[in-house]
Structure 1
Amino acid sequence: MSKRAYNFNAGPAALPLEVLERAQAEFVDFRESGMSIMEMSHRSDIYESVHNEAQNRLLGLLGNPSGYKVLFVQGGASTQFAMIPMNFAQEGKQANYVKTGSWANKAIKEAKLLGQVHIAASTEQEQYMRVPELSELQLSEQPAYLHMTSNETIEGTQFKQFPDTGSVPLICDMSSDILSRPFDLNAFSMVYAGAQKNLGPSGVTVLLVREEIIESSPSHLPTMLRYDTHSGNNSLYNTPPSFGIYMINEVLKWIEEHGGLQGVEAMNRKKAALIYNAIDSSEGFYRGCVAAGSRSDMNVTFRLGSEELEKAFAKASEQEGFIGLKGHRSVGGMRASIYNAVPYESCKALVEFMHDFKAKNQ
């Protein structure tokens, strides 16, 4: 291919070129089976070896913490918004949530359908342009769990630290920044993420769940909405999204090859600093949306002087091969999603375009 697009889509998002090329080479005949992995039974030895390898590789990147299961489920992170309170919001206790923006609000909406909800902290009055300080968190008297959204894709905010919740289970939606940096899985009872931003293609949701809380799945829930169903059957109770899981395994290999989580974190910080510096040094032509201490390293949001200028920026960028720079329709503005697989060269090209656009439109 002579030229790939500068892909800044928020999700589904960029995948590593090396991974795509490997998948292309194996697409028709996987491991000399005479079949694509998409064609073979999920009960076959070949597929199960890939399935288990992806689970082990993910835990390996996180330091092989004990007591956790990796689950692959379908329905996106949005289904988890309901499954979490279904499984963990015990009667007489409150589901605690940190209200940080669009995705946290969707999780809260589902939880309110299923039980008592307590907002432990919120930055709604500030239009979610920062995340709360950990000192602002106020749990209810009888918390069932605390739910956080580590990175708000739409607003462009990100938690840099996580609280110590003691005996209260900490559950985190990491859909848009999982494996973008090291983190201590032992601090969490559950981490979940849609794959389509940093892990692989859409269609798979990855869960890292402490085994002891899986056992509390209520028996009255429908079978597919219980975590113990998926855990007890190695995520093979029903037909899994096998090609997506294969792709996740390949992306995890790619992360290993690029220095693990420390390596990708260094590159992600370098990419983010490049674009934020272009914004901050533009003398007000570009304006960052988010408070400096809450800026996301995954989703860089910014505004220009008017909506007309933003439309011109979006149109001109598309003509130059930049894809996905329009902000979410709910907030407007511009957004560059710079997940793990977005090359530094794409970010450098964007900054050069921003300088050129400013020079032509001041």
Structure 2
Amino acid sequence: MSKRAYNFNAGPAALPLEVLERAQAEFVDFRESGMSIMEMSHRGAIYESVHNEAQQRLLSLLGNPTGYKVLFTQGGASTQFAMIPLNFLSEGKVGSYVMTGSWADKAYKEAKLVGGVHVAASSEEQKFLKIPELSSIKAADNAAYLHVTSNETIEGTQYAEFPDSGSIPLIGDMSSDILSRAFDVNKFGLIYAGAQKNLGPSGVTVVIAKEELIAESPSHIPTILRYSTHTKNNSLYNTPPSFSVYMVNEVLKWIEEQGGLAGVESKNREKAGLLYEYIDGSDGFYRGVADPGSRSIMNVTFRMQSEDLEKQFVKAAELEGFIGLKGHRSVGGLRASIYNAVPYENVKALADFMKHFRQTQG
């Protein structure tokens, strides 16, 4: 095998090499069936066992919270932006949103097409470069839910702690940092996450929700967009993205092997600490973008002294095998996405490259 790239893509993102190799070994003949898992009926016993195992393994990693159900849906977080208000915004209710950046804004705008919305807090005045103080977050009195985006990939910010929403269900978009650290699932009524950053390949979206919250959906919305449809059919109402679900199960096994959430969190903080320490110690050659108190351990965003220098950096990095370091087109700059599957050795190699580049330009 040729040398693997240093993959810092924001998503689809790096997958654990061990998982890719296991999938490769099982790709053509899964469990001596004579078929790939992609060729099997989703109603068959072999696929259903993988499907159920993945659901149970995810809940186990989260501490086996009581009364929660795991769903596998399609359409990414973008479909969840619509499903949430469609299912929960009954007459006289509004969706309260904490505005922390590009992805929170997308969720808010989609809900606005469905019903009433409310801004519970915003860091727009800080150019979304910090997370609002928890004490400033105030859901509307008639809120059906309070929505937060746990990690903003574009700006590079992340909640250190989550708000207490009281009796109002807390909904979290955790697409870019789910299973990157330990957290209390019981604070949330519903969590959703596209798989393509920390859970597996693109194609499947995981929903973890209190069963009582998703047991009954409004009958006037399309059947496929009702949470109750997926709940009652164990996410098998329509053909699931079977290979993606299989890969999620394999990634969850890998997380168990890393020591669970405590193990991956320790590694993630070590990786992020290495990069931030070098950026902060570069005498301004590299400059962190996010407020230090809101920095993400998944997406390290930084700038240099000019856009021309940033372009030179990206070009030189690509020649050395570093992929995905260009910032999002909406904000520019630079970004290293260091999700669970990005090894410490790759992050160390990036820090060494940054040091070398600085020396050549300094």
TM-score grouping bracket, smaller chain normalisation: over 0.9
Residue 142 of structure 1: aligned partner: 142
Paired with 2:163 and 2:123, the residues of 1 have a C-alpha distance of: 17
Deviation at 1:110, TM superposition (A): 0.4
Q: In structure 1, give the amino acid aligned to 2:218.
A: P
Alignment of 1:153-302 (within 5 A): 153-302=153-302
Q: Deviations over 1:60-104 (max 9, x none)?
A: 001101101100000111000010000011211111000000000
Quick check: 1:88–1:216 contact (8 Å CA) kept in 2? Answer: no
Quick check: 2:85–2:95 contact (8 Å CA) kept in 1? Answer: yes
Quick check: 1:180–1:268 contact (8 Å CA) kept in 2? Answer: yes
Quick check: 2:215–2:231 contact (8 Å CA) kept in 1? Answer: no
Residue 109 of structure 2: aligned partner: 109
Q: In structure 2, give the amino acid aligned to 1:348.
A: K
Residue 348 of structure 1: aligned partner: 348
Q: Deviations over 1:218-266 (max 9, x none)?
A: 0111100000000000000000000000000000000000100000000
Residue 7 of structure 2: aligned partner: 7
Quick check: 1:169–1:189 contact (8 Å CA) kept in 2? Answer: yes
Paired with 1:159 and 1:166, the residues of 2 have a C-alpha distance of: 18
Residue 335 of structure 1: aligned partner: 335
Residue 20 of structure 1: aligned partner: 20
Paired with 1:322 and 1:175, the residues of 2 have a C-alpha distance of: 23
Q: In structure 2, give the amino acid aligned to 1:283.
A: D
How many pairs does the alignment contain? 362
Q: Deviations over 1:327-358 (max 9, x none)?
A: 00000000000000000000000000000000
Q: In structure 1, give the amino acid aligned to 2:187.
A: A
Q: In structure 1, give the amino acid aligned to 2:193.
A: A
Q: Deviations over 1:154-175 (max 9, x none)?
A: 0000001011111100000000
Deviation at 1:125, TM superposition (A): 1.1
SS in 1 for 2:356: helix
Deviation at 1:9, TM superposition (A): 0.1
Paired with 2:133 and 2:320, the residues of 1 have a C-alpha distance of: 40
Paired with 2:48 and 2:108, the residues of 1 have a C-alpha distance of: 36
What TM-score results when the alignment is normalised by the length of structure 2?
0.99
Unaligned residue ranges in structure 2 (runs of 5+): none
Deviation at 1:215, TM superposition (A): 2.3
Q: In structure 2, give the amino acid aligned to 1:6.
A: Y
SS in 2 for 1:139: coil
Q: In structure 1, give the amino acid aligned to 2:121.
A: A
Residue 72 of structure 1: aligned partner: 72
SS in 2 for 1:118: strand
Q: In structure 2, give the amino acid aligned to 1:168.
A: I
Paired with 1:29 and 1:80, the residues of 2 have a C-alpha distance of: 34
Paired with 2:183 and 2:51, the residues of 1 have a C-alpha distance of: 23
SS in 1 for 2:147: strand
Paired with 1:156 and 1:268, the residues of 2 have a C-alpha distance of: 15
Paired with 1:147 and 1:68, the residues of 2 have a C-alpha distance of: 18
CA RMSD in angstroms comes to: 0.6
Residue 125 of structure 2: aligned partner: 125
Quick check: 2:54–2:252 contact (8 Å CA) kept in 1? Answer: yes
Q: Deviations over 1:3-31 (max 9, x none)?
A: 11000000000000000000000000000
Q: In structure 2, give the amino acid aligned to 1:99.
A: M
Percent identical across equivalent pairs?
73
SS in 2 for 1:35: coil
Paired with 1:156 and 1:163, the residues of 2 have a C-alpha distance of: 19
SS in 2 for 1:284: coil
Q: Deviations over 1:267-319 (max 9, x none)?
A: 00000000001100000000000110100000000000000000000000000
Unaligned residue ranges in structure 1 (runs of 5+): none
Deviation at 1:216, TM superposition (A): 3.7
What TM-score results when the alignment is normalised by the length of structure 1?
0.99
Paired with 1:80 and 1:53, the residues of 2 have a C-alpha distance of: 23
Paired with 1:8 and 1:316, the residues of 2 have a C-alpha distance of: 15
